[in-house]
């Protein structure tokens, strides 16, 4: 049996939701080991004077606890 933890992170991009999600996952991979699943849970944008200035992707990431069996 294995045990997994879930964390929620938010990635941002000036160009797209896809880039925002990719940014979140790539950044998380620098400090979170053994990531298994990433689920996009919410997409939104930040506005300035009615213009989109930033795309945001909320991402749930699961990773395996160290020492947990596969």
CATH at residue 29 = 3.30.1660.10
Residue 51 lies in a domain: yes
Q: Is a pLDDT exceeding 70 seen at residue 44?
A: yes
Report the predicted TM-score, pTM, of the whole model to 2 decimal places: 0.83
Give me the pLDDT at residue 65, please.
78
Q: Which residues contact 26 (CB under 8 A, 6 or more apart)?
A: none
* Domain encompassing residue 19: 4-64
Phi, psi of 57 (to 5 degrees): -125, 120
pLDDT tens, position by position, 18-27: 999 999 999 9
| Domain count for the chain | 1
How far apart CA 61 and CA 6 sit, in angstroms, is 5
Average pLDDT, the chain: 93
Q: Which residues contact 32 (CB under 8 A, 6 or more apart)?
A: 7, 61, 63
Residue 60 lies in a domain: yes
Q: Is a pLDDT exceeding 60 seen at residue 42?
A: yes
């Amino acid at each position: 049996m294995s045990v997994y933890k879930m964390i929620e992170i938010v990635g941002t991009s000036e160009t797209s939701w896809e880039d925002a999600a990719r940014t979140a996952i790539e950044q998380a991979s620098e400090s979170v080991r053994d990531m298994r699943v990433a689920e996009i849970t919410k997409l939104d944008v930040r506005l300035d004077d009615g213009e989109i200035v930033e795309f945001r992707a909320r991402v749930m990431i699961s990773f395996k606890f160290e020492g947990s069996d596969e």
